[in-house]
Amino acid sequence: MTDATPTFNADDDCFHSHLSDGDWWFTETAWFSFHHVERKLGGWFYTMVRPTIGTVAGGAWLWDDSAQLPWEVPYSANFSALELPADADLRSIKLPTGVSIEVEEPTMAYRLGYDDPGRLTAELRFAATVAPRPLVATGSTFGRAAHFDQIGRVTGNIELHGESIDIDCWSIRDRTWGRRPENRPRQAAYVTGAGEEGTGFLAVTNTRDGTDRVAYGFVQRETEQVTLVDGERSVVRSPEGWVDEVRIEAVDATGRRLVATGRSLSRIIINRHSFIDINSLMAWELDDDDAGLSWWGEDQDMWPMHRFSAAKRSGDWSLGS
């Protein structure tokens, strides 16, 4: 972090439509994740707005180890082009996707809801312990978009098909705004782990020339948050291509190593326009100085559709450009 690093302030809890300059592909997202480890249950509330054309996409996903296809998991609602309400304010909004967001404390605490009676309803609270982490590496999959990530504690309750489930976990959220055309994907991963009073990590990787390098990320140890400057993600896959195990070996800006091995507890396969997202709930084991910490999170394994199809047909899951 330097004096030139952008900061996230209360105005950024709002939409940024004034920055779109009429660009069809100007896109704004708000993503919150949560989980219930004992049930191997992962969840997303995801909102994607295109202000120029007045649409909102996204919704909610909940998955466990009973299924992985979106039409078989416990809940999946992935809308593509609902009408954005007039004068929408992201600080206090109930969207036609079912998602609701209410700012409780600017940049730090949010009330979250979901409303699909009989199938999924939710009342959750996301509360961070440290300020959002701004993207400072344009070489990552987010490119030059404005992007922030933040570890926080998610508490509350969901009712899934009539069953009440309490949620209490450490997880992560992100916010992005900028140009995001649908033909943009490249092979990449977004890998998270969190727990133990807000400790955790984020590693965003790009796949090039047979390796999966860390392009951006950070590690949070107690009150210290440090940028990841180098590293690699390696993956053990099932014959179907799904992620069974992930290993992150990285170095932060102070020279300390981050070594984390993750085991997939459950997954959902999401088809997002021209790419596939193999999204796994992960249980992480830490080595070196971090040994003994308990972290859980996600591995979002993102492939261009044609690349995944070719690998599936050939049976060759080796990494490549």
Counting as low any pLDDT under 50, the low residues of the chain are 1-4, 320-321
pLDDT of residue 282: 98
Q: Please, what is the end-to-end C-alpha distance for the chain in angstroms?
A: 31
Give, as one character, the DSSP assignment of residue 287.
-
- 10 within some domain: no
Exposure string for 241-264, b = 16+ CB within 10 A, e = fewer: bbbebbebbbebeeeeebbbbbeb
Mind listing the pLDDT tens digit for each residue in 266-310? 999 998 888 999 999 999 999 877 778 889 999 999 999 999 999
pLDDT for the residue numbered 318? 78
Per-residue DSSP letters for 194-235? EETTTEEEEEEEEEETTEEEEEEEEEEETTEEEEEEEEEEEE
Asked if the structure places residue 216 within a domain, the reply is yes
The two tokens of residue 298 are 């996600």
Q: Which of 180, 203, 175, 201 is nearest to 190 (CA)?
A: 203
Is-contact 62 45, C-beta < 8 A?
A: no
User: Is residue 206 included in any domain, yes or no?
Assistant: yes
* Closest to 249 measured CA to CA, from 238, 241, 257: 257
Report if residue 165 sits inside a domain. Answer: yes
Query: Does residue 229 sit within a domain?
Result: yes
- Total length of the chain: 321
Taking a C-beta distance cutoff of 8 angstroms, is the pair 154, 166 a contact? no
Instruction: Please state the domain count of the chain.
Output: 1
Residue 139 maps to a domain: yes
Alpha-carbon distance 208 to 68, whole Å? 27
- The residue segments making up the domain with residue 39 are 25-314
The torsion angles phi and psi of 312, rounded to 5 degrees, stand at -65, -45
Residue with tokens 């992985």: 68
Distance, CA of 141 to chain centre: 13
Q: Which of 182, 180, 171 is nearest to 145 (CA)?
A: 180
Cβ 265 vs Cβ 279: under 8 Å: no
What pLDDT is stored for residue 1 in this prediction?
41
- The 3-class SS string of 107-171 reads CCEEEEEEEECCCEEEEEEEEECCCCEECCCCCCCCCCCEEEEEEEEEEEEEEECCEEEEEEEEE
Query: Does residue 100 belong to any structural domain of this protein?
Result: yes
pLDDT for residue 189: 95
Give domain status of residue 6, yes or no.
Answer: no
3-class secondary structure per residue, 40-54 = CEEEEEEEEEECCCC
